[in-house]
């Protein structure tokens, strides 16, 4: 699949983050939180961090990397981590169900109460070899509070042999109690300024549609939007991914109280109550996930716009 185009900086930015993480190797924080970047960048960095804590050759590879203490990425330990089959790395995705976990051969587990309990029991055993156990958690959903609270208890018990890594697009998607226990690392935001001009008609159409959510009229002015998503062959996965990223950026801008001259979509998303903001973020995450599964990108954008509209209209309908 095609990923959003990045400018030259994110790669350098990630390298800089790796260098800083390498400095933490001797005394790793109990909980790291990676935000920003794309989901695959966050996941890759989490695996890299796990390799760093487990690779026995950290100081024996090529001179430049050895100097920075980077993992070798080629020993059995590093290879198992890259393939998600290391005994020391446990991955949990809050979005998958038990059934999906059974069918899933990749080693990624569901974040159910049963699995959290099993994790708790497992943490009492020593990790494999001389390395550290890394528990990587992503797709965390605030609506599954029971599992999140159980997880919190697990994180609270200091364990010298285990580190946790939380992954989220933005820290505001997580329980504040989880964030306050974390060492937060912000990955470079994928830079989309180059393509923003191309996205302007999309931003305007989406804004016009969403503005109607606060009006009493029954039918929303969808035409402008549907002219864009309905044009044959006009939407590919890359464009859709850029639109999703644009929405994420606008949502982040909308949360800055002193910002003037906001772009139209950010203006439209201003003063959202926190639960709606979270709902928007979750919807954007879902859209990103669907794009990775090669669902028709134009339909994903229609679904996104309709979901946004429904979230905004939610209480205007009951007032």
**Residues interacting with Zn ion, by CB under 5 A?**
55, 57, 71-72, 75, 78
Cβ closer to Zn ion: 55 or 163? 55
| Min separation Cβ 82 and Zn ion, Å | 10
Q: Who contacts 112 (Cβ-Cβ below 8 Å, separation ≥6)?
A: 98, 147
Number of Cβ atoms within 10 Å of the Cβ of 26: 7
Residue placing its CB nearer to Zn ion in the complex, 59 or 104: 59
Q: Which two tokens stand for residue 122?
A: 């497992």
CB 306 within 8 A of CB 313: no
- CB contact set of 165 (below 8 Å; sequence gap of 6+): 31, 32, 33, 34, 46, 49, 50, 134, 135, 136, 137
| Nearest distance in Å: CB 64, Zn ion | 16
**Token pair for 181:** 């226990």
Query: Which of 6/133 has CB closer to Zn ion?
Result: 133
We find the least distance from the C-beta atom of residue 78 to Zn ion, in angstroms, to be 3
Q: Which is nearer to Zn ion, 55 or 192 (CB)?
A: 55
- Least Å distance, CB 69 to Zn ion, is 12
Task: Please state the closest distance from residue 75 (CB atom) to Zn ion, in A.
Answer: 3
- Decide whether 75 or 246 has the Cβ nearer to Zn ion: 75
At its nearest, how many Å lie between Zn ion and the CB of residue 131? 10
> Taking the complex as a whole, how short is the minimal distance between the CB of residue 53 and Zn ion, in angstroms?
11
- Asked if 187 and 35 count as a contact pair (C-beta separation under 8 A), the reply is yes
Phi-psi label, residue 84: left if phi above 0, alpha if psi -120 to 50, beta otherwise: left
R_g over Cα of the chain:
21
Tell me the helix, strand and coil percentages in the chain, rounded to 5.
55, 10, 35
Determine contact, residues 49/134, Cβ cutoff 8 Å. Answer: yes
Q: What spatial distance separates the first Cα and last Cα of the chain, rounded to whole Å?
A: 44
Between 72 and 205, whose beta carbon lies closer to Zn ion?
A: 72
How many other CB atoms are found less than 10 A from the CB of residue 106?
A: 11
CB of 21 to Zn ion, least distance (A): 15
Considering the complex, state which of residue 65 and residue 122 has its C-beta at the smaller distance from Zn ion.
65
- Of 13 and 131, nearer to Zn ion (C-beta) is 131
Three-state DSSP state, 281: helix
8 Å CB contact between 37 and 189? yes
């Amino acid at each position: 699949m095609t990923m959003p185009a990045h400018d030259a900086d994110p790669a350098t930015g990630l390298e800089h983050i790796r260098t800083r993480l390498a400095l933490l190797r001797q005394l790793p924080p109990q909980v790291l939180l990676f935000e920003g970047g794309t989901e695959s960048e966050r996941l890759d960095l989490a695996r890299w961090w796990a390799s760093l804590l487990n690779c026995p050759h950290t100081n024996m590879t090529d001179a430049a990397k050895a100097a920075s203490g980077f993992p070798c990425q080629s020993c059995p330990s590093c290879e198992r981590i890259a393939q998600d089959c290391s005994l020391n790395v446990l991955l949990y995705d809050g979005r998958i169900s038990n059934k999906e976990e059974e069918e899933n051969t990749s080693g990624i587990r569901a974040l159910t109460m049963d699995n959290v309990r099993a994790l708790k029991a497992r943490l009492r055993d020593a990790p494999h070899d001389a390395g550290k156990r890394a528990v990587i958690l992503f797709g965390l959903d605030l609506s599954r509070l029971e599992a999140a609270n159980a997880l919190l208890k697990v994180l609270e018990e200091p364990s010298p042999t285990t580190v946790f890594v939380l992954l989220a697009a933005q820290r505001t998607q997580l329980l504040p109690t989880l964030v306050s226990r974390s060492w937060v690392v912000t990955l470079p935001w994928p830079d989309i300024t180059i393509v923003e001009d191309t996205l302007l008609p999309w931003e305007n159409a989406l804004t016009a549609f969403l503005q109607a959510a606060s009006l009493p009229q029954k039918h929303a002015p969808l035409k402008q939007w549907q002219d864009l998503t309905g044009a044959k062959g006009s939407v590919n996965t890359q464009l859709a991914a850029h639109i999703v990223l644009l929405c994420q950026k606008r949502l982040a801008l909308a949360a800055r109280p002193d910002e003037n001259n906001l772009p139209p979509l950010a203006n439209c998303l201003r003063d959202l109550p926190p639960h709606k903001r979270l709902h928007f973020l979750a919807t954007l995450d879902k859209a990103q996930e669907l794009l990775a599964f090669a669902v028709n990108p134009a339909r994903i954008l229609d679904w996104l716009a309709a979901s946004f509209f429904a979230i905004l209209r939610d209480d205007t309908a009951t007032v």
